[in-house]
Each structure stands twice: as structure tokens, then as C-alpha cells.
Chain A
Amino acid sequence: MAASSQNTTSSRALRDAQLIDSSGAWAKEARTAASDRAQAAGLPQRRDEYWKYTRPDAFVQADVTLQASLRRSLEIFDQRTTVLVTFEDGKIQSSALPSAAHCTLESLMSASALDLHWARDIYGRLEAAGQTPVQRSLAAVNTAVAREGLMLNVTGAVAAPIHIHATSSGQTDAIIHNVIKVAAGAEVTLIETGQYGARTNSVLEVDVADGGRFHHIRVQDGDERHLLTHIFGKIGAEATFKSFTLTAGGQLTRNECVLQLLGDDASVSVAGACLGDGPFHHDDTVFITHDAVNCESRQVFKKVLRNGAVGVFQGKILVKAGAQKTDGYQISQSLLLDDDSQFLAKPELEIYADDVACSHGSTSGAIDAQALFYLRSRGVPEAQAVDLLTLSFVAEAIEEIEDADLAQDILDHLTETLSAR
């Protein structure tokens, strides 16, 4: 199926990108291949099963009509020393790129100007591998046209987290493509805060080699915004991959995470907590493929919804033949604070090995009346008691964060966000 609407930003961008591309050989090649993938797949349609619960229209329509605003979420981690990388209106501030031991930081722009670059083995490759069995054409569009992003090459244990903070104002459209390579035995934490644009299409490709450790903590806020993110991860033997996302704002968010466990004894965790209020639609779509022995994967998603907010979860664990001793865990839960809110969940398991333990659960519920009374009987006013029970509800997702200090920062931010609303 070819792209049906020629008048979309995405297809226009594809055409323009090819006309002006003066990049080095590897980047040109990756972009051309991605462009072909996108053209062949066509843009997502409302009738696509894969987009059943979230309308793709907002991501493919021609013009962005939202007004981004500058947010202060940088302060969430201000108790921590971080290596700060900033984006303004979708552009990486490359003149101010910091340096840190055991890693190199470059912009996509400068990396793609070279004829040879380490990112060649990752950029668009992991995204392409994540196109089956379901096509994610907007990620392919991203690979084809993205000009902005961070290329992070991690060769050892990086002490302080690498912190991307993005600010944006006005009707900005951002296409961001970040690539991270974690060498064997290396370790890094990536923090992402702020918003790249009023409308953002972002791709993060992460290659974690054997014994490598990657931690990702992301805070998505901003009032008026549409956000589509893709994470594509390739995880080697005995490696660790952990990604946590807190979403506390925005009108439309879809976070896709596609992970391939390719080496034995690896461990991954994808977790999310979201607070939805009013015109808020939040979609977590996860696909984890076990293609090695004795790997563990965890998906932990908690959504707190009120005033008509909608939460979506589509999570799948695919256990390939031979991926014995797989331990897969998947939980998606919503706390509906009123009758107007909605949670739509589609948990899936597909298992071709016979010695595996996979569990999944999905629930929707209201605030527990007994717990609410317990708190109020101790003098905690109702609104504050509901906030405490909300924190209690999302705690399991936050506990997926390994670093206790960063987890505390997230908890504090969440507490503040709750008491401010």
C-alpha cells in the first residue's frame, strides 16, 4: 500500500529530504532504505488494527496546530549531577555539547556528514528490524528525514546520567532521532525531560552489547502537545535494559517500545506511570521478542485517569522457539478516578517454547473506599488522601527504576504535580 495522502507533512518531508540530502554515504544509504520502507508500508490508517485504540490522524496530518510552551521540568533532577544536552525547538545545541569520560557525544548532523561512522550499524537498522510483524511506518519516516539527534557512544561506565532537556515554544514540529551504543560491559543512564516540539516524532535506537547496562528515565509533560515516540532496542547476552516513562501532561502521547533479546541471560524492563486529566490520550505499545535462553522481561504500566482521559495499553511478549527459561511478566493497570475515563488494554502472549513462565494481568479500578476512609480517619483531607492513594497505585512502576535517588526524584515530582492540580 502506497502512502495514500500526498499532502501530509510526512510524505512532503520525505520528498524534500531526498532533494537536499548532502550527507555522507552511510546516512544517505540508511535514509534511502528507510524512505523505501515508509513508502512501501504507507502511513498508518484509522482502520489498521495496530492503530485501533489511537487515531493516527494527528501524527500524519499536514500542519501542527498546537502551541508548545516552555516547561520547567529541568528541575526534577537538579539534586543530581548530570551531563546536560539541550535541544531548542527541535534542534540540538551542538556548540554546547558536553563531554564525559567513557563516552562520546555528537549530533546526528555532524555524524551524518561523515562517510563512515559507528552509528552506521545502528541508525535505521534497529528500526528496520522492528518493522515486523507490525509495520511502524512513522518510525521509518523518522529515520528517512530526521536531521536532529544525539549520537552517544558508551565505552565504559559513565558516572553521571546523560540528560537531554528539550524546550520548545510555538507551533513547532520536531523529528528527533537519537542513537545509543553501549559497548560490552559499559553502563549509562539517559534522562529525557521537556518537549522537543509541539508535535514530536522521536526515535531512540539503543544497542546494548553483552554485559552492557542501559537505564532510561523519561518525563513527558507539556500542556499542548502530540508526541509519538519509538524505542528500538537490541539487547545482548547478560545485558540490562531498563526504561521508565512518566507522562504527566500533553493531549496525545503514544510510546512504542520494541525490544529484541538476542543474547542469553539478559534482562529488560519497560515501565510507565501516567497521570491523565481531561483531553488526554495515552498509549503504551510494547513488543518484546525473546530470542535467547533464560532472559527476563518486565512490562509494568500504571495509568491514573480522570475527566474523560483515555489510556491504552498494547503489550506483547513473543517467545521464539528455543527461547527456553524465558521469564516474562506483564502488568497494565488503570485507576479510574471517575466514570468518564477509559482504559483499553490488549495484552498478548505468543509462545513457541515449552519451558517458559509468562504472566500477564490487566485491571481497571476505582479508589479503594476502605483505604480512603482509613487515610481520612487519620486526618488527611479527601483530595490529599486520593493523591496518596494515587502514588500508592503507581509505585510499582516507579520501583522499576534501579537508581534509588532518581526514583525518589520521580516520586517527588509526581507528588508535586499531584498537589498542584
Chain B
Amino acid sequence: MLNIKNLHVKLEEEDKQILKGVNLSLESGKVHAIMGPNGSGKSTLSYVLSGKGGYEVTDGTAQLEGVDILDMEAEERAAAGLFLAFQYPVEIPGVGNMTFLRTAVNAQRKLRGEEEMSAGEFLKVVRAKAKDLKIDAEMLKRPVNVGFSGGEKKRNEILQMAMLEPKMCILDETDSGLDVDAMKLVAQGVNALRDDKRTFLVITHYQRLLDHIKPDVVHIMANGRIIKTGGPELALEVENNGYADLLEETA
């Protein structure tokens, strides 16, 4: 699904190398987790993959289903099936959540040369999906993320994911700022979207989220590189021993 080879990235504004040769291969239908200490480059990786400005790729490639995505605009990557659930979803006052969702769904369809979803059909689909995530009609009407609690914001991200039906989902610290119940609800939403054609890359600090979203593969990232790859047990190891041992091991 997603193949990242030797990815080197620096900040555009300053001469600071963040990613120093990341290699990752994510198969269809799998859930990969990336864990790592602060400043290891996890969020940068998610931003670079989804097309945020301010970064410069100095070497390497990233291909989604064999197509190079690093030269694409952010919206083209989204239309190609990439989705980033934000760590800090942005508030957009004055734009209704429903308007935003419909604009996004139809913009992607248009970019793919597909027919737009009618207002009636959209309403039906969004209501059903919102219900699963315990998002009520009031929350759909409110401006995007404005006045939402931390949990509501993250559920709203998952609702967008459910509506946009991406092939490749990147979750950037989706567990941050969530209490246990909210995390379960978000995890349920993610698990409901798991199938053999959809791939997930779950970025997190803590093993906790991985209790609810069970990964197939766990990677440890440090200092701009993947330093270790293993099964779910690797996450438990980090939970018990911290990153220090792993860092020493690879130093």
C-alpha cells in the first residue's frame, strides 16, 4: 500500500534534518504502529506524507500503491486515498461541520473524476456514520471543531475518515488528550473501518491505544529513523522498560 524508501527530510526554513532515512513498507489491510520518544520525527513523517508545507524532502521516495506522492498537492494525496487524523484538529468558525464534510467528500470525488454525492444521499450516509460515533445532529451543525471537547474533536476526525473512506489512514497521536472512555469510542470507530483493503499507520507515545487498536506490526522510531521493528510485543516492551534500552541497543 505505502512504501517509504530512504526518506530524508529537513525543515525548509532552517538547516535541520528531521528524517534521516526512513524505510517503511505497509501492506494492504495491516495496522502498523510507530512509537518513539518526543522529537523522533513521528509527526513530521505524518505531515510530510500528507503534504504539509514547510518541509523539504532531500532524498528518498514515498509511494502509495506504486504512485509517487511526494510531488503531489495535499488535496491530490487525499483524493488518492491518503488520510491524516490530526493530533490537534483545527477549529474553523463559521463553517458548519456538515458543509465542511460535504465539501470534502465532493471535492475528492471531483478530483477523482467521480460524480458528486447528492445532498439527500450525503445526509443519509453521514447520519448513519455519525450515530456509530455518538455524534449527534447538534454537533454536525456546529462550526467545525469549535467548542468541541478533546474527545469530540477526535471523534470528528474519525467521522471524516469514515466519510472519506481512505485506503491509507495515518493517525497522529489520536490518543492525546483523551480519557479512557473517549479513547475506547475512537478505537471502536477505527476498528469498524478496518478491512483487508485499508491500511493504518498509528502514531502514538503510549501502548495504551494499542490495547484498543491492535497492531500487526510495531516500529520504534528515534532520531529520524526506524530503529526496530517487531510484533505487538514490542509495544509492551516499551511500556515496561521505556525507550532507553532500545536506544542504547542501537546506539
Binding site for B on A (CB under 8 A): 368-371, 373-382, 384-385, 388-389, 391-396, 398-399
Contacts and interface: CB of A to CB of B under 8 A. Distances in A.
Nearest to A302: B94
Nearest to A393: B94
Contact of B78 (A368, A370, A376, A393): A376
Contacts of A393: 94
Contact of A370 (B50, B90, B93): B90
Contacts of A371: 90, 92
**How large, as a class, is the contact surface on chain B?**
20 to 34
Contact of A374 (B79, B83, B86, B105): B86
Given A384-B103, A388-B100, A376 B92 contact: no
Nearest to B88: A370
B91 to A, nearest CB: 8
Question: Which of B74, B93, B108 lies at the interface centre, i.e. has the most chain A CB atoms within 10 A of its CB?
Answer: B74
Given A378-B108, A396-B94, 12 more contacts: A373-B51, A376-B78, A377-B84, A378-B104, A379-B111, A379-B164, A380-B107, A381-B107, A382-B73, A384-B107, A395-B95, A395-B143
Top 5 A-B pairs, shortest CB-CB distance: A395-B94, A379-B108, A379-B78, A376-B74, A378-B104
Contacts of B107: 378-381, 384
Contacts of A396: 93-94
A407 to B, nearest CB: 11
Given A369-B53, A373-B53, A379 B94 contact: no
Nearest to B90: A374
A396 B143 CA distance: 12
Interface in B99-142: 100, 103-105, 107-108, 111
B89 interface: yes
A271 to B, nearest CB: 13
Nearest to B52: A373
Contacts of A391: 94-95
A377 B94 contact: no
Contacts of B100: 375, 378, 388
Contacts of B143: 392, 395
A368 B83 CA distance: 20
Question: Which of B79, B84, B92, B94 lies at the interface centre, i.e. has the most chain A CB atoms within 10 A of its CB?
Answer: B94
A418 B84 CA distance: 28
A112 B56 CA distance: 72
A395 B93 contact: yes
B73 A392 contact: no
A42 B89 CA distance: 57
Contacts of B74: 373, 376-377
Contacts of B77: 377
A391 B144 CA distance: 13
B65 interface: no
B199 interface: no
A315 to B, nearest CB: 21
Interface string B145-179: 00000000000000010001000000000000000
A397 to B, nearest CB: 10
Nearest to B160: A378
Contacts of B92: 371, 374-375, 388-389, 392
Contacts of A398: 94
Contacts of A376: 51, 73-75, 78
Interface string B14-31: 000000000000000000
Given A382-B75, A384-B107, A392 B84 contact: no
A395 B78 CA distance: 27
Contacts of A370: 90
A374 B89 CA distance: 8
A378 B51 contact: no
Nearest to A385: B75
Nearest to A411: B94
A374 B77 CA distance: 13
Question: Which of B50, B95, B160 lies at the interface centre, i.e. has the most chain A CB atoms within 10 A of its CB?
Answer: B95
7 contacts: A373-B52, A375-B100, A378-B75, A379-B164, A382-B73, A384-B103, A395-B94
A414 to B, nearest CB: 11
B54 to A, nearest CB: 8
A388 B52 CA distance: 18
Contacts of A377: 50-52, 74-75, 77-78, 83-84, 86
A380 B75 contact: yes
A227 B27 CA distance: 63
A395 B94 CA distance: 5
Question: Which of A373, A378, A395 lies at the interface centre, i.e. has the most chain B CB atoms within 10 A of its CB?
Answer: A378
A280 B130 CA distance: 44
